[in-house]
Structure 1
């Protein structure tokens, strides 16, 4: 599908990736097309799924979440059902930023932000070890 992208489309993607708040007029000027053409191209990139969304990058210190913790998780069973149950619960857990299925000694890596290590330790003791199938 990427073969359908020309240099203008690729430049639009690069610019949006570095600053998702660019106005259509600024974006059009930077890729040397009219604002109408730029809008059509950008909308097509969204419609075709090249751009999945635009979101704000929050300063973790300002929202009192300065501790970044990566947690390795091992499930007690390696079955499709245990993986599915774990992933279903993880999707609803608001304290987890990212969840990645990995190969090797761990089944998943979780990316979590906490106020500090004491906050993380509380989170670990109350929520992480209660996740389904976690060893």
Structure 2
């Protein structure tokens, strides 16, 4: 699906997405128009999902991040759908992942401090539907956070 030129463009784009189009094209060894056409094709194909801004949550006063591992009551036929729909409405839930295995869902929750986290947990997380068990893991450090692919 991707040829060597596409991979070179993606490598350069991942390495420095804020570089100008002409800089990325030069580093990838293609013209700016070739790069633009190929990026557009990759966006149309769903390979590139778009450009986004990354917010530094601690800089905005969110000092606490907790991973909640949730096991759902799977005797309810719509447990996953109803839980996920409700969890999406909690503003402090910044990520939802589903799994196969003992843990069904992982929520990543941010809060300003422990008091705020306790309020979010009690008032917004615990009332979520179909929870059979929940385990909290307090984040200490983010050692690696990288969505770049080895192309």
Give the alignment's TM-score, normalised by structure 1: 0.87
> 40-49 or 103-112: which moved more?
103-112
Distance 1:53 1:78 in 2: 38
**Equivalent residue for 1:41?**
38
- Identify which of 98, 107, 113 aligns with 2:104: 107
**Equivalent residue for 1:91?**
88
Distance 1:14 1:90 in 2: 35
How many residues are aligned here? 132
Does structure 1 residue 61 correspond to structure 2 residue 58?
yes
Q: Which structure is higher in RCO with an 8 Å CA cutoff and minimum separation 6?
A: 2
**Equivalent residue for 2:144?**
none
Report the Cα offset of residue 123 of structure 1.
0.4
Report the Cα offset of residue 20 of structure 1.
2.7
Q: Secondary structure at the match of 1:127?
A: helix
**Equivalent residue for 2:19?**
22
Q: Tell whether the 8 Å contact from 2:76 to 2:130 is kept in structure 1 after alignment.
A: no
Report the Cα offset of residue 24 of structure 1.
1.2
Q: Secondary structure at the match of 1:130?
A: coil
Name structure 1 gaps, 5 residues minimum. Answer: none
Q: Tell whether the 8 Å contact from 1:20 to 1:55 is kept in structure 2 after alignment.
A: no
Report the Cα offset of residue 78 of structure 1.
4.5
Give the alignment's TM-score, normalised by structure 2: 0.78
Q: Tell whether the 8 Å contact from 1:46 to 1:52 is kept in structure 2 after alignment.
A: yes
RMSD: 1.7
Q: Tell whether the 8 Å contact from 2:87 to 2:125 is kept in structure 1 after alignment.
A: no
Q: Tell whether the 8 Å contact from 1:114 to 1:120 is kept in structure 2 after alignment.
A: yes
Q: Which has the higher strand share?
A: 2
